[in-house]
Structures are given as C-alpha cells and as structure tokens.
Chain A
Amino acid sequence: MSTNSPHFLSIQRLETLPFSVSPMAVPSPPFSLSKHSPSNPPSFLASNPSLDPSKAPVLRPRNAFGSEANLGRVEQTRLRLWNNLKTNSDLRLQASRELPGLTKELESDKSERMERIEHGTDLFDEMKQRFLSFKKHKYMQNLELYEKLAKDQAPKFMVIACADSRVCPSSILGFQPGEAFVVRNVANMVPPYENGPSETNAGLEFAVNSLKVENILVIGHSRCGGIRALMSMHDDVETSSLIGSWVSVGMNARVRTKAATKLLNFDQQCKHCEKESVNCSLVNLLTYPWVEEKVRNGELAIHGGYYDFVDCAFEKWTLDYKESNPIGKSGKVAVKDRAFWF
C-alpha cells in the first residue's frame, strides 16, 4: 500500500459518559434527590433528541413528586407501559445476515439509528421514573429501615434462583430490601464443592460464613431454557458453548430424569428435570463442609422450591438431613414439610 494514500485511522475510544451530564462536570449524581429536601427533579435529558410523541408511552407521570396517582393505578400504568414498549415492532431488531463491519455503521440509515437511540432513552426515562417512585413510596416512607440497612444487612434467606426474567424472587415471593441474599444464574444450579471456585459458591461462602443466613432456598421453575438445553445435549459430544459447559453441572439430574421418565414426552421430561435439578443442587450444597456443619448443628435449613408460572403455583420442600447420606436407598432425596400453594 502506497504511503501516500490516506489510511483510515480509526481510533476507537471507549468513553463512559454519565447519563447526559458532561464528562467534565463535578460528579453530582443525575438522579440524586436529597432525602432531606425534596425539590423538583433536575431536568437532565439535556442531550436527548426530541422524542416522537406518537411513540411516547401512554400515561407518563410528569413529575414524580406531583403525581397524585395511587399505587394501584401506577401499577397498572407501569404494566401497560411495558406492554406498549413490548408490542412496538420498531423495538424488535432483526438479526443481520451481513457481516458486521465498522464501515457498515457509517452507511447505515441515520434515522433508524436515531429511532433506536430514542427508544433507548424512552426505556431509561421510564427507569428513572421507577427509581424516583421507589424512592418516594418505599425509601422515604421507611427511612429508618433504610438507614439501618445502609449500615448492615442481616438477611435470613439466601435464595438461588434462575436468571429468567419471569422468576425474580423479589417479585414472586415479595422479598423486601434486606430480606434475601440472592444469587441468580442460568437454571439455578449449585455446582458441587469439587468443581472448584465459581460465582455461585463465592456467593454461598459469603452468605453462609459472613452473613450467617439461616435458610437457603433453591428455586426452580417451569419452562426453563437452561434445563431444556441440558436435556437436549448430546450424550458424548463436547460442547463448545458456554451454556453447555455450565448446565453440565446438572448432568446427574439429567441422568436420573431419563431413567425415571422413559414413557413421558420431552416437555414432561424437562419438567421432571427442573425439579430433579433442584434436588441435585440441594445435595451439592451439602458437599460444602461449612454448609454441612451448620445443617448438622441445626443452624441452617435447606429448602427447595418450584415456581410454575403456567398455572401460578409454588411448591416448596425442606431437605431432611440425617447423619447418613440424605439420598435414601431408593435414590431419592429425603425431604419433609412439603407444601403446595396455588
């Protein structure tokens, strides 16, 4: 290449810009509202392109503090807003078959990009409203509790749940700030001690040894994509996907499920595996010596749960720990206090 021809010197700078505050500004948090003096919320959509009113969500409260809407109405509004945003087909981006390339970006339709940026701003404006609503209706109403929590947390529960957007334990079981230390991963799995360090057992170590929680609850759920991936894996093939590597933790559950459900269809097998995997995780919890010790001393209880969002039902059971192996002679995990709520 001739040295005289202009090169494309593309310098990619990764800038983390505070949301619409100039990078040189003194860091005053954009969302900050002093708890001592409720003033008008700052207008901080300075660099925001003008929003197309036809795309604006319905029923947006103008001013969080001036809003007279009661909680019931606001709840409906929020879910309706979500529906509007969800069904707006502009937001659904199609996967491109073309090779991605930086030059493509320069050529792409500017209005299309602006549309995406606008919707992004819509989403985050909505998020701002929600945070301000949380601050007004929860934080400021329970200032004493939050001040106490700010110093320390003492949750009674550690919850291990799936990352699935439909199964947040705070939503379905109503955990309030301070109540539950929550680890969420794909398919709510707990790897055994011998697998070595991972993010899940780092959380386990902290919850059990530092926070000294009294209950661990592992919650599985219906139509779990991770379990489905586990059940769909080929028996001998090494998987190169990270999903495959992770869900292999549940291989025991898959083996037991396939043995027990030969006559059922694939969907039913997956459902069985979802519960079996919870039990395997409960057993894996006991492979951690400091967990087993506390369970043996009665300081820690281990529970399994299953949330079925098709029928809206919740099943719960407690591991029945005995000095000997908690897996009985039949190969089933010993449980007690089984409950079914619907």
Chain B
Amino acid sequence: MGNLSQEEAIEGLKKLLIHNDKDEQLSKELETKIEKLISEFLGTTPHDCHPVRRILGGFQSFKTNKFDVYPELFSELAEHQTPKFLVFACCDSRVSPSNILDFQPGEAFMFRNIANLVPPFNQLRYSGVGAAIEYAVVKLNVENILVIGHSRCGGIDRLMELPEDGSTENDFIDDWVQIGLPAKAKVKAEFGHLPLDEQKRECEKEAVNLSLTNLQTYPYVRERMARKALALRGGYYDFVEGCFKLWEVKSIISTPIRS
C-alpha cells in the first residue's frame, strides 16, 4: 500500500535529521528539503487537507521528535510545571509565541485572547483573565510577564472602527475590545492626523502598554513588582516587516526634593 511506504520514507528521512549531529552536518538546503518532504508526507504543510489527518500528523511528529527524544524532561514536566513566563498573546493564527519565540513545553504559561488585552482588576467581571494572572503569579510564581501585540490585529481593527455613538454590531467582540478604549483615545490624540491604517499600527503597540498598566492593578502583581520578584515586558511582532520589538516596564523613584 502507498501508506506503508510513506511511513517508511518518513522514518528514514527523520533518521537522517535526528542522528546526523553525530556525523558531518547536512547542508542547509538539503536539510530544508528533507523537512519539507517530511511535512508533505505528514500533511503538515499548510495546504488543504483532512482536519483529522492534519492533527494526527502533528501529534505523531511531536511525539517522535520531542516527547520520545527527551523522556526525562517530559516525565519531570508531567509532575509539575515551573514556567518562568506568563505570556499574553493574541489568538491570531499567525502569532503563536511557540512558533515565533520557540517556547518549549514547560516554559511559558500562555493566555491567548482577542488583541492580547488585559483588563484592569475587577472581581465581578473578566474572571477568565484574572484567573490566569492569579494562577500564574500566585501559584506558579512566574518571574516574567510578557504581553505580545502584533501587526494587522483584527481586534485592534475593530476597536479603532467602533462607532463613536456606542452602537455595537457584535455581541461579544465589541464588549471585549472596549477594554482598549484608553489606548484608542491616546492614539487619536497623538496620531489623529495620520491615516487610519497607521493609527491602527500605533494602537497595536499602545494597547500593549495599556495592558501592562492594567496588569499593575492586580494586587499580587503589584506586590511582586515592588520586591522585584516580577518583571513586566511588552513585545510587538510585525509579520509584515519580519521583526520583533521588546521593551520593559521600569519604575523609578526619584531622589527626594528638599524645600
């Protein structure tokens, strides 16, 4: 059957990739070609393919190339996780931090929502985000929070296009993106003279800053920041230009002023 020989071919190709660090290095082109072949066999290239086969192929690849290759690491992870990062990223299919920043299993507790927004502390609403922050900061003791925005964000698009009169088309999206209204106001004030597309780009970054500010309204975040146990950073992934920006929140206490 065609399937059997396909599996053999995949196994053979994988052996070439995994074991060749003991021998000479493969040339870059050959290696890329092998990977492309494997992914085509497994159906993991982004072509039209059956959804179940797609997931199965992905899982098999993970098991073969990661889980079975690092058994000690994964058995330790099975007992507990000790991620250093809490990451807020957008749900956008193009910006998975595991892809672009190569987070491995166990490294980052990752919360993904529309436009990577963090609402201010509120015990009555937004318990989803609050639960993630509480769990990561208090239970898992993460040391870094990273909020990653990105280019061409649909959520920010919607925020910038929200009608001024407060009318809404969407039940849930509009309610959610309104968290970003302070960022929109700032962008309109500073960059209102720019075309709307450029205002949106500015808002994508400003929304990250807003989220970083809102994070500090959570008492457990504030407490840990005060004793330098937690660092807050913002990031921006621009997949049009192919670049990544990173910045940090710093708080400075100036010297006292004497009268």
Seen from chain A, the residues whose Cβ lies within 8 Å of a Cβ on chain B are 3-4, 6-19, 29-35, 68-73, 75-76, 78-79, 82-83, 85-86, 91, 93, 95-96, 100-102, 104-106, 108, 113, 116, 120, 123-124, 127-128, 130-131, 133-135, 137-141, 145-146, 149-150, 153, 155-157, 163-168, 170-186, 197-207, 209-210, 214-215, 217, 222-223, 225-226, 240-243, 245-247, 301, 305, 309-310, 312, 314, 316, 337, 339, 341
Contacts and interface: CB of A to CB of B under 8 A. Distances in A.
Contacts of B216: 14
A15 B250 CA distance: 5
Nearest to B93: A155
A17 B245 CA distance: 11
B107 A165 contact: yes
Contacts of B195: none
Nearest to A150: B240
A153 B81 contact: no
Contacts of A182: 91, 93, 96, 112
Given A8-B256, A79-B104, 6 more contacts: A12-B252, A14-B250, A19-B247, A76-B21, A165-B110, A312-B63
Contact of B96 (A7, A72, A75, A170): A170
A181 B93 contact: yes
A106 B254 CA distance: 12
Interface stretch (B4-12, B151-159, B186-194): B151-159
B149 interface: no
B110 A217 contact: no
B245 A31 contact: yes
B248 interface: yes
Nearest to B247: A18
Given A17-B250, A163-B109, A146 B104 contact: no
Contact of B172 (A139, A186, A202, A247): A202
Contacts of B96: 168, 170, 175, 177, 180, 182
B170 interface: yes
A217 B55 contact: yes
Interface string B18-53: 111100011010011001000000001110000110
A27 to B, nearest CB: 8
A203 B173 CA distance: 7
B245 A29 contact: yes
Nearest to B77: A166
B250 to A, nearest CB: 5
B46 A105 contact: no
Nearest to B212: A16
Interface in B204-259: 209, 212-213, 216, 223, 226-229, 231, 233-234, 236, 238-254, 256-259
Interface SS of chain B: mixed
Contacts of A95: 141, 229
Given A200-B128, A243-B131, A19 B246 contact: yes
Interface residues of B, number: 125
A105 to B, nearest CB: 7
A70 B101 CA distance: 18
Given A10-B253, A72-B18, A120-B231, A204 B31 contact: no
Contacts of B35: 71
Contacts of A76: 21
Interface string B171-200: 111011100000000000000000000000
B152 to A, nearest CB: 7
A202 B21 contact: no
Interface of B: 17-21, 25-26, 28, 31-32, 35, 44-46, 51-52, 54-63, 65-68, 70, 73-74, 77-78, 81-85, 91-96, 98-114, 117, 123, 126-136, 139, 141, 143-144, 151-152, 154-155, 170-173, 175-177, 209, 212-213, 216, 223, 226-229, 231, 233-234, 236, 238-254, 256-259
A177 B209 CA distance: 25
Contact of A31 (B63, B126, B246): B246
Contacts of B100: 131, 134, 177
A308 to B, nearest CB: 9
Q: What are the 7 A-B residue pairs with the smallest beta carbon separation, nearest first?
A: A174-B58, A242-B130, A202-B176, A246-B131, A32-B243, A165-B83, A197-B175
12 contacts: A70-B17, A164-B81, A168-B96, A168-B108, A171-B105, A177-B99, A178-B93, A197-B175, A198-B126, A202-B175, A225-B135, A309-B77
A166 B246 contact: no
Nearest to A136: B28
Contacts of B177: 202
B57 A174 contact: yes
B248 A226 contact: no
Given A71-B35, A150-B151, A150-B152, A29 B244 contact: yes
Contact of B99 (A11, A127, A166, A170): A170
Contacts of A209: 170
B43 to A, nearest CB: 10
A172 B77 CA distance: 14
A70 B155 CA distance: 38
Contacts of A7: 256
B139 A197 contact: no
A90 to B, nearest CB: 11
Contacts of B129: 199
A246 B127 contact: yes
Contacts of B151: 150
A198 B67 CA distance: 34
